[in-house]
Chains A and B, each alone.
Chain A
Amino acid sequence: DTEVTQTPKHLVMGMTNKKSLKCEQHMGHRAMYWYKQKAKKPPELMFVYSYEKLSINESVPSRFSPECPNSSLLNLHLHALQPEDSALYLCASSQGRPLLVVEQFFGPGTRLTVL
Chain B
Amino acid sequence: DAKTTQPNSMESNEEEPVHLPCNHSTISGTDYIHWYRQLPSQGPEYVIHGLTSNVNNRMASLAIAEDRKSSTLILHRATLRDAAVYYCIFNFGNEKLTFGTGTRLTIIP
Residues of A within 8 A of B (CB): 4, 31, 33, 41-45, 48, 50, 55-56, 90, 92, 94, 96, 100-101, 103-109
User: Would you call B46 and A103 a contact (CB within 8 A)?
Assistant: yes
User: Would you call A50 and B95 a contact (CB within 8 A)?
Assistant: yes
User: Would you call A108 and B43 a contact (CB within 8 A)?
Assistant: yes
Cα A108 to Cα B93 with chains together (Å): 25
Interchain CB contact (< 8 A) of B45 among A31, A55, A106: A106
B98 at interface by CB-CB < 8 Å: yes
User: Would you call B95 and A96 a contact (CB within 8 A)?
Assistant: yes
Cα A108 to Cα B45 with chains together (Å): 10
User: Would you call B43 and A56 a contact (CB within 8 A)?
Assistant: no
User: Would you call A100 and B97 a contact (CB within 8 A)?
Assistant: no
* Segment of B21-29, B60-68, B99-107 in the binding face: B99-107
Residues of B within 8 A of A (CB): 32, 36, 38, 41-46, 49, 85, 87, 93-102
A82 to chain B, nearest CB (A): 23
Known: A50-B95, A105-B46, A109-B43; 6 extra A-B contacts, CB below 8 A, are A42-B100, A48-B96, A92-B43, A96-B95, A106-B44, A107-B43
B10 to chain A, nearest CB (A): 17
User: Would you call B87 and A42 a contact (CB within 8 A)?
Assistant: yes
Cα A41 to Cα B98 with chains together (Å): 12
Residues of chain A contacted by B43 (CB below 8 angstroms): 4, 90, 92, 106-109
Interchain CB contact (< 8 A) of A45 among B41, B45, B96, B102: B96
